[in-house]
Structure 1
Amino acid sequence: MLFGLNGVEISLIIVAISLFGGILSGYPVAFAISGSAFVSFAVIAVLNEAGLLYTMQEIGGQMQKVPVFERGWEHAVLATESTWAQGVFSRAFGGNVETLLAVPLFVLMGIALERSNIAEDLLTTMAKLFGSMPGGLAISVVLVGTLLAASTGVVGATVVTMGLIALPTMLRNGYSKSLATGVIATSGTLGQIIPPSIVIVLLGSIVGDMYAIGQETRADKLGMTVLEMLGEPAVLSTGTLFKAAFIPGVMLASLYALYALGFALLNREKAPPVHLSGADSYGLLSYYKNNPWLLLGAAFGPGLVLILLWIIFASTGVIGDVTVDDVTTYGVLSGGTYSLVVLSGFLLTFAMAVRPSYSLTPIVVGLIGTFLIVLFDWLFVAGDASGGTKTLVYFIPAAMMVYGLKHAIVRVTEIEVIRVVSPPVILIVAVLGSILGGVTNPTAAAALGAAGAIMLAANRRLKDQNQSSKPVIWASLGIVVMLLTRGNFDLRMTMEDIAFDDKLAIFVTLIAFHVAFFGLLYSCWILFREKVMSQVVRETTKVTSMVFVILISSLFLSLTIRAFGGEHYIQEFLHSFDDPRTLLIVVMIVLFLLGFVLDFIEIIFIVIPIVGPVIYAADPTLMPPTWITILIAVNLQTSFITPPFGFALFYLRGVAPSEVSTMDIYRGVIPFVIIQVIGLLILWFFPSITTLLPELLPAN
């Protein structure tokens, strides 16, 4: 054979040349991938018929040549079509259709927010807040990128928006071109790791199957079932991956901000402080003896203490429940109730810290109500208590808490930065809270996020025109009511015997649903009237179509590789590694290198199905599947900023001023690529960063 390579190895090289040649040809990626599948199949078929592609196998005691298409190309075509019909297509669009439905919804959510100018307000406000410190504008871009990532998950919209708004401002104020472009391009990619993330959704549609297949293979080798081996089913949900990705995403954002601050301190002339007009401290520092650390402690200290207590209670069994042999043992505190207490306690103490001159009475009443909810939950509410019981017990403390929160929200929204930041933060809390709290799955949360983004965009338009936004506000309250009833009552209307409190909850939920539905329709009408909705729908359709066409094209290519035994060959090569961690390192290096030339969607749907059954066959106690998946997700995020084909670089190049060259962008992202590698190393040596939240929060 050529250069000592067998037929399968040469066929893999032909597929790789066809794929990279198609991508570099300039054709749309989806068509290039599907075209490379057909072209490489045809070339392999011709060489196979000519007797040039074969492997040497021992048959009857003799080494004989066996063609890669052992029964001819005609049979290979029929076998491929049979495989497609019997499961590959249904795997992508059948069993996982609910998960994949989250993709267009999250895309719609991101584009609606981008069209509502919320990003512009965030950048302007953050620049006023942090601009006066060295590298303040760069840090502002990282913070806004983090907020937009957690509320949109769309890289293109984030990079383009910040490139149009922040880049000219940074250059005008003397910022280095490389730092400005690097921090914008990289911060925009946070949407691929911080939930809700399209990368996580697409990975979730694939790796769940890979984990199940891998553990079944390992169980077969051990001669037992998966349940006997693991003690539980081999299930890896998208909601679990969202929980696992949150802390790593925040960690990466912190590393970006630290780099920007360090760069500014070492190169003050390239990232100077900027004093923008409109900054206002609201005289807060004077209340805290001009000590900013005292202010930060008063504002965020109580919230951090509540979160720390949450972690301690969850790790000691005070919060949550454990099921053993179908017997559930409940902790003395409910996880859902305590999460509400943490949010309420933070808002109340934060309002008291930032508006200290106001009356403390409403805040104290709210704090007492919050404390009583915890106390009543501990003393009077069992873990399996009905929603009606909880409502009766919590009614008075909850009313006190709501009274305090009403005054707290009015006070904190008087501050510009909070007024601007709160809409996307509320959306983040609603979407992520419903997922992380186990209230609903990512697809339903994506629908909630899309509806919320539409209402936020409509609310912004109404405020710009000085019109009332009460229908939108009432709709938002309706959604909150539905989330609360969904988490505390059984709302199934098909049951024969429905408890009275559940009937009452169903009635309240139906009212809240119609209020929310009317508000959503009204919001859609506002955006349609302002000629925004047509743009949102058009862009959503384009992005979603691109994702799913690439998915189908990737399946074509995977079938081509499978037809000549390439998938089996690669998996056998991977099985040759005795140490699963060494194998994972090899896979991560390959993914990192592929990120230079392939987009994350192609990598997910071409590479992961081939290597997944092998790397997910490791012992989950040694290599947790969530840890493996988040390592892959962070690695794929890097593909957006790796020259020369990183998508974020193309997005930024398209909106950057003429004085910014492509090489400026390349130089700017190199330090952040290194930071990505550092982040991967941190996750590698500290897997608990990814497993903490899935273990802490309830399952979906």
Structure 2
Amino acid sequence: MLFGFTGVEISLMIVGISLFGGILSGYPVAYAISGSAFVSFAVIAILNEAGLLYTLQEIDGVMEQVPVFEGGWQKAMLSTESTWAQGVFSRAFGGNVETLLAVPLFVLMGIALERSNIAEDLLSTMAKLFGTIPGGLAIAVVLVGTLLAASTGVVGATVVTMGLIALPTMLKNGYSKSLATGVIATSGTLGQIIPPSIVIVLLGSIVGDMYAIGQENRANELGVTVLEMLGEPAVLSTGTLFKAAFIPGVFLALLYATYAMGFALLNKDKAPPVQLGEPDPYRLLSYYKNNPWLLLSAVFGPLIAMVVFWIVLVNVGLTGSEVVENVVVHAPMSSGNLAILVIVSFLLTLAWALRPSYSLTPIVSGLVGVVLLFFADWFFVGGDATGGTKFTYYFLPGLLLIYGLKHASVRLMEIETLRVVSPPVILIVAVLGSILGGVTNPTAAASLGAAGAIMLAANRKLKDKNQSTKPVIWASLAIIILLLTRGNFDLRMSMENIDFDNKVAIAVSLISYHVAVFGLLYSCWILVRDKIMSGIINETTKVTSMVFVILIASLFLSLTIRSFGGEHYIQEFLQSFEDPRTLLIVVMIVLFLLGFVLDFIEIIFIVIPIVGPVIYAADPALMPPTWITILIAVNLQTSFITPPFGFALFYLRGVAPPNVSTMDIYRGVIPFVIIQVIGLLLLWNFPEIITFLPDALPAN
């Protein structure tokens, strides 16, 4: 054996050297990865033919040298090509094609919002709102980063956008360079974890197969079937991962904001309050006796109470549904309706709190509708009720809700902050709500998000030119109607016998569909007219092409590793760890280190298929697959901001002013790296943070 290493170990070293050498060469990553696959295969083939790469195996009691390519490089190449043709290609582009379709759609959604200057409006508005408190600009950046992450999912675009807009403002107003750069770089990476995240979509296209393979291997070792072992199929969908990632993402954002506020309180000269507008333009503080805590209680108190009520219902099993012995058992309250009632109640109470001098009649009417709909769902509408039954019992409460929401929305839109924040928030709620509520899958939700982003961008341009936005508004209402009918009626026109209520729902859906399509086409024409659409399409094509070319290149590299048994060798090494949690720690450390030199796309498509069948073979009761996946996503996010190689740091360095040094950026992100580690430890020790939403919300 050469230098004491087996042929497989040396071959793995050759692949690693070729890969990192290609990446550091400066060539585009996709070409570097595919090139390293061919180069390393050629080098291994030459050394194999020279008799330098072999393993020692005992055959008939005699130790013999077995080449890594037992049948020669020609057979290895034919076997690799056969594997590609028979399995790998179809797995990447066949079974997962629907999931991967979400990638270009979410990218289009993010770029459309970026090009419509919505991010700039968000930052300026949030800065006015929070600037008057110490560290307010930093908190504003965290909030905007969270909103952009939930509406774009593209890390580079978020970091660059906030670096161009927020960094000069923060430095001009006396903020510390380290705090300003740290909070921008870190908040921009929330797109790694907060859905709709490209990372979660790509992970979802891989880990579902890995979980199924891992559990099948475990079942074979136990001599039972997967159904006998788990009591259910080993399925892990992208929609479930979206639900699992939401709370951890918001949790990390809260940790960032808490640190920014604490830093400002201890270093007031480095994060001073900034007056960017009139302190109380709506005279709210005077109404609440100049007590900001009273105002905050009026705004967020009802929401907190309703969320606590929701959590209690979930924990005692009074909402949602579950499968018991292949029979779906419905709780008294629908989880989807409960989520809608919480949102509607918050909007009504928010209008009450922020516009207290207005008439209370519409708000009270809306709240009465909330109560009536709650009791109607609880006592009269079962989980298996038809759409017609739901319509009968929901009609009157629904009218009261619409009446209250109409007046509440008019009052809320009078406030500049809400007027700016509401469009992206509504889009986020529509996209995530359709996924979390079980209405549709992530790919269809991505289509909704892309269409919504285009209409938002067109709406912004129409407003800038003082033109009518009614076609866009009517199209938005039509989409809402489509979502509601999709969630409550059976719209399949292929059925032989269609009930009357479903026929009415289908007719309403067809009308709404054509109105929505007209509004979307009109929005596209507006963007084409203003010469914005070409930039959106070009940038979307570039990003999407990069993702899929890297995917193909990563598959080439995986096949090279598989050709000499490298994948089997790594999996055997990982299986030597008896404790599955110890194994996961080792994998997390390796992924963290790889995150310095590889982008998340390469890691997902090169590393996860190798280690996945082992780490996802653990007992899901001990290590839920959603928990493992979100830990991996947060870990990759951490490596994205860790000096000296974090990708987010390079993005920010490229747009930072000359007076901001690289060391300023490094010093700024170190506290946030510590926060990330703390967040990872909390997620590790309290898996419920991750598993709560997937357990509470309906499956899709």
TM-score band, normalised by shorter chain = over 0.9
RMSD of aligned alpha carbons: 1.0
Q: 1:268-294 CA deviation, whole Å, 9 max, x = no partner?
A: 222221111344341111121222111
Aligned to 2:439: 439
- The separation in 2 between residues aligned to 1:365 and 1:359, in whole angstroms, is 11
Letter in 2 for 1:291: N
Aligned to 1:359: 359
Shift of 1:298: 1.2
Letter in 1 for 2:405: L
Letter in 2 for 1:69: F
- State the secondary structure of the residue aligned to 2:461: helix
Q: TM-score, normalised on structure 2?
A: 0.99
- State the secondary structure of the residue aligned to 1:64: strand
Q: Contact 1:153 / 1:196 at 8 angstroms: preserved in 2?
A: yes
Shift of 1:111: 0.2
Q: Contact 1:599 / 1:639 at 8 angstroms: preserved in 2?
A: no
Shift of 1:262: 1.8
- State the secondary structure of the residue aligned to 1:268: coil
Letter in 2 for 1:418: L
Aligned to 1:325: 325
What are the equivalent positions in structure 2 for 1:418-429 lying under 5 Å apart? 418-429=418-429
What are the equivalent positions in structure 2 for 1:473-552 lying under 5 Å apart? 473-552=473-552
Q: Contact 1:238 / 1:442 at 8 angstroms: preserved in 2?
A: yes
Aligned to 2:128: 128
Q: Which runs of 5+ in 2 are unaligned?
A: none
Shift of 1:376: 1.6
Letter in 2 for 1:626: T
Query: Mean alpha-carbon deviation: is it higher for 386-395 or for 424-433?
Result: 386-395
Shift of 1:39: 0.8
Query: Mean alpha-carbon deviation: is it higher for 239-248 or for 371-380?
Result: 371-380
- State the secondary structure of the residue aligned to 1:269: coil
- The separation in 2 between residues aligned to 1:399 and 1:469, in whole angstroms, is 25
Aligned to 1:223: 223
Q: Contact 2:2 / 2:53 at 8 angstroms: preserved in 1?
A: no
Q: 1:195-243 CA deviation, whole Å, 9 max, x = no partner?
A: 0000000000000000000000000000000000000000000000000
- The separation in 2 between residues aligned to 1:82 and 1:280, in whole angstroms, is 70
What are the equivalent positions in structure 2 for 1:624-663 lying under 5 Å apart? 624-663=624-663
Shift of 1:355: 0.6
Aligned to 2:260: 260
- The separation in 1 between residues aligned to 2:602 and 2:547, in whole angstroms, is 9
Aligned to 2:61: 61
- State the secondary structure of the residue aligned to 1:332: coil
Aligned to 1:609: 609
Letter in 1 for 2:569: Y
Q: 1:334-364 CA deviation, whole Å, 9 max, x = no partner?
A: 2222222111111111110111100001111
- The separation in 1 between residues aligned to 2:281 and 2:589, in whole angstroms, is 48
- The separation in 2 between residues aligned to 1:204 and 1:150, in whole angstroms, is 17
Shift of 1:635: 0.9
- The separation in 2 between residues aligned to 1:122 and 1:617, in whole angstroms, is 44
Letter in 1 for 2:305: V
- The separation in 2 between residues aligned to 1:80 and 1:472, in whole angstroms, is 52
Q: Contact 1:595 / 1:642 at 8 angstroms: preserved in 2?
A: no
Aligned to 1:19: 19
- The separation in 2 between residues aligned to 1:290 and 1:3, in whole angstroms, is 76
Aligned to 1:300: 300
Aligned to 1:596: 596
Q: 1:110-165 CA deviation, whole Å, 9 max, x = no partner?
A: 00000011100100011111111111111110100000101111112211111111
Q: 1:6-28 CA deviation, whole Å, 9 max, x = no partner?
A: 11111111111111111111111
Query: Mean alpha-carbon deviation: is it higher for 632-641 or for 682-691?
Result: 632-641
Letter in 1 for 2:472: V
Q: Contact 1:215 / 1:226 at 8 angstroms: preserved in 2?
A: yes
Aligned to 1:453: 453
Q: Contact 1:348 / 1:404 at 8 angstroms: preserved in 2?
A: yes
Letter in 1 for 2:453: A
Q: Contact 2:336 / 2:697 at 8 angstroms: preserved in 1?
A: no
Aligned to 2:144: 144
Q: 1:559-599 CA deviation, whole Å, 9 max, x = no partner?
A: 11001110000000000000000000000000011111111
- State the secondary structure of the residue aligned to 1:270: coil
Letter in 2 for 1:183: V
Shift of 1:383: 2.0
- The separation in 1 between residues aligned to 2:379 and 2:694, in whole angstroms, is 28
Q: Contact 2:123 / 2:166 at 8 angstroms: preserved in 1?
A: yes
- State the secondary structure of the residue aligned to 2:439: coil
Q: Measured at CA, do residues 657 and 157 of structure 1 come closer, stay the same or move farther in structure 2, by a change above 3 Å?
A: same
Aligned to 1:155: 155
Q: Contact 2:19 / 2:32 at 8 angstroms: preserved in 1?
A: yes
Q: 1:359-390 CA deviation, whole Å, 9 max, x = no partner?
A: 00111111111111111222222221111111
Q: 1:405-431 CA deviation, whole Å, 9 max, x = no partner?
A: 100011111111111111111001000
Aligned to 1:698: 698
Q: 1:644-674 CA deviation, whole Å, 9 max, x = no partner?
A: 3332222212211111222222222222222
Q: Contact 2:2 / 2:52 at 8 angstroms: preserved in 1?
A: no
What are the equivalent positions in structure 2 for 1:223-242 lying under 5 Å apart? 223-242=223-242
Q: Contact 1:599 / 1:646 at 8 angstroms: preserved in 2?
A: no
- The separation in 1 between residues aligned to 2:233 and 2:600, in whole angstroms, is 29
Aligned to 2:74: 74
Aligned to 2:344: 344
Aligned to 2:394: 394
Letter in 2 for 1:373: L
- The separation in 2 between residues aligned to 1:278 and 1:657, in whole angstroms, is 29
- The separation in 1 between residues aligned to 2:363 and 2:52, in whole angstroms, is 81
Aligned to 2:582: 582
Aligned to 2:174: 174
Q: TM-score, normalised on structure 1?
A: 0.99
Aligned to 2:183: 183
Percent pairwise identity? 80
Shift of 1:459: 0.4
Shift of 1:41: 0.7
- The separation in 2 between residues aligned to 1:299 and 1:138, in whole angstroms, is 22
Q: Contact 1:598 / 1:639 at 8 angstroms: preserved in 2?
A: no
Aligned residues: 700
Aligned to 1:212: 212
Q: Contact 1:598 / 1:645 at 8 angstroms: preserved in 2?
A: no
